[in-house]
Amino acid sequence: MFYFFFMNLSVKLEDGAQHKNLRVFSVSTGEELISFTQKSQEGWELQYTISESHAIRLVSSEIQVFRPAEWSKGVVDKLKVEGSTSVALSPGLNPSVAVFVAEKKVRFTILFRSLRSYRF
pLDDT in tens, 22-72: 888 989 999 999 888 887 777 778 899 999 899 999 988 889 999 999 998
Q: How confident is the model at residue 106 (pLDDT cuts 50, 70, 90)?
A: low
Residue 92 domain boundaries: 46-120
In a shared domain, residues 59 and 100: yes
Residue 105 CA neighbour count, 13 Å, CB half: 0
9 lies in the same domain as 51: no
Q: Is 47 exposed, middle or buried (0-12, 13-18, 19+ CB in 10 A)?
A: middle
**Could you tell me if 65 and 120 lie in one domain?**
yes
One domain, residues 11 and 70: no
pLDDT number for residue 109: 39
pTM: 0.74
Rounded CA gap, 44 and 68, in Å?
A: 16
Same domain, 64 and 103: yes
Rg from Cα positions in the chain? 16
Please check whether residues 30 and 78 belong to one and the same domain: no
Are 102 and 71 members of one domain?
Answer: yes
What pLDDT band is residue 105 in, cutting at 50, 70 and 90? low
How many independent structural domains does the chain possess? 2
- Burial bucket for residue 58 (CB in 10 Å: 0-12, 13-18, 19+): buried
Mean pLDDT of the chain: 80
98 and 69 in one domain? yes
Hey, how many other C-beta atoms are within 10 angstroms of the C-beta on 32?
14
Do 118 and 76 share a structural domain?
yes
Within this chain, do residues 51 and 103 fall inside the same structural domain, yes or no?
yes
Q: State the amino acid at position 108 in one-letter form.
A: F
Same domain, 23 and 54: no
Residues 99, 77 share a domain: yes
